[in-house]
């Protein structure tokens, strides 16, 4: 076996993984980072909270939900920047004129050429444009193609495909015995009654565990009729997905 690998500013990989749990960004310009995910850096890099004076224009261009801008910092300058998140697997992805929706807790950092928007699905954010972003997952990420049904806890995100819908499967709760089961709870639930169903063309990102990364606040939704989670007449509310998770917990 080799000894430990020693890196310096030149031998660190450029925009690539150092190993499964750390990512090295070759910074020349600006990157957005989630607060607290930088573990080390080489070079001349400044970290600014978003929305501080001169960075206002950035927020206008790359951030479309100013409400959660406080959870992000901008790294600017030149150098190598190391990112990691609680020893979770870290991966980078390239978007080319594409869009990708990801669970807010999984996104670590992204290039300023991408723009971040709040998804209409609560708890998710969407990246649009061309550029690179870094995401963390519990267990490595797998890419699968629709049609597929995914356990809500195993879903990391999806790219270029229509938003998922809910799929409920409790066939075993039908009939007399099923009714008895539903009434008394005897026999338990399989914990797999509810999935997200994806159809159409695109890619779905799965993690190999049902342990969800803690959500980052994505900010509120503008109040107004017809906005999910927004104003009056809206269905669900911000806790919509949380409500489902609670449902799954109760039954699981």
Partner 1 sequence: MGFTRISGKMIEAQVVPGQPLYSQRGAMLAYRGEVSFTPNLTGGQGGVMSALGRRARGEAAPLMTVEGRGSVYFGHGGHHVHVVDLAGSLLHVEADRLLAFEGSLRQGTVFLGSQGGVMGMVRGQATGQGLFTTTLEGHGSVAVLAHGGVLELPVTPRRAVHVDPQAYVAHRGDLRNRLSTALGWRDMVGRGSGEAFQLELSGQGTVYVQASEEKL
Choose between 62 and 138: whose C-beta lies nearer to partner 1.
138
Cα–Cα distance, 46 to 77 (Å, whole number): 6
- Token output for 57: 């224009």
Answer for which of 45, 189, 241, 244 binds partner 1 (CB under 8 A) is: 189
Is residue 165 within the footprint of partner 1 (CB under 8 A)? no
Does residue 199 belong to the site contacting partner 1 (CB under 8 A)? no
Task: Give the one residue of 162, 191, 200, 243 binding partner 1; rule: CB under 8 A.
Answer: 191
**What is the rounded distance in angstroms from the CA atom of residue 166 to the CA atom of residue 154?**
14
Q: Count interface residues toward partner 1 (CB under 8 A).
A: 31
- Pick the closer one to partner 1 by CB: 29 or 185: 185
Q: How distant is the alpha carbon of residue 57 from its chain centre?
A: 24
> Looking at 68-76, 101-109, 168-176, 229-237, which segment touches partner 1 (CB under 8 A)?
168-176
* Candidates 7-15, 75-83, 103-111, 183-191; binding stretch for partner 1 (CB under 8 A): 183-191
Quote the CA–CA distance of 93 and 140 in Å, as a whole number: 13
Residue (of 183, 103, 172, 186) closest to 141 by Cα position? 103
Alpha carbon distance 91, 129 (integer Å): 18
How many other CB atoms sit within 10 Å of the CB of residue 37? 20
Residue 115 interacts with partner 1 (CB under 8 A)?
no
Residues 120 to 159 in contact with partner 1, rule: CB under 8 A:
138-140, 142, 144, 147-151, 154
Residues 6+ apart with CB under 8 A from 236: 122, 228, 229, 243
Residues that bind partner 1 (CB under 8 A): 138-140, 142, 144, 147-151, 154, 169, 171-172, 186-193, 195, 204, 206-211, 252
């Amino acid at each position: 076996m080799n000894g430990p690998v020693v890196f310096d500013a030149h031998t660190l990989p450029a925009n690539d993984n150092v190993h499964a749990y750390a990512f090295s960004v070759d910074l020349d310009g600006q990157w957005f980072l989630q607060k607290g995910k930088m573990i080390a850096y080489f070079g001349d890099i400044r970290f600014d909270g978003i929305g501080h004076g001169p960075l206002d224009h950035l927020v206008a261009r790359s951030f479309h939900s100013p409400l959660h801008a406080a959870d992000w910092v901008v790294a600017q300058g030149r150098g190598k920047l190391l990112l990691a998140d609680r020893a979770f697997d870290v991966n980078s992805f390239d978007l080319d004129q594409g869009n990708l929706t990801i669970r807010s807790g999984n996104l670590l950092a992204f290039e300023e050429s991408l723009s971040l928007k709040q998804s209409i699905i609560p708890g998710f954010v969407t990246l649009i444009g061309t550029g690179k972003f870094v995401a963390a997952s519990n267990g490595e990420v797998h890419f699968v193609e629709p049609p597929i049904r995914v356990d809500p806890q195993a879903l990391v995100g999806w790219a270029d495909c229509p938003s998922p819908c809910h799929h409920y499967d409790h066939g075993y709760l039908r009939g007399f015995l099923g009714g008895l089961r539903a009434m008394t709870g005897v026999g338990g639930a399989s914990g797999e009654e509810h999935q997200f169903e994806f159809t159409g063309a695109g890619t779905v990102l799965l993690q190999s565990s049902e342990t969800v990364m803690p959500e980052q606040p994505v900010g509120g939704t503008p109040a107004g009729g017809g906005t999910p989670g927004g104003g009056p007449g809206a269905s669900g509310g911000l806790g919509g997905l949380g409500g489902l998770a609670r449902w799954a917990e109760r039954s699981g």
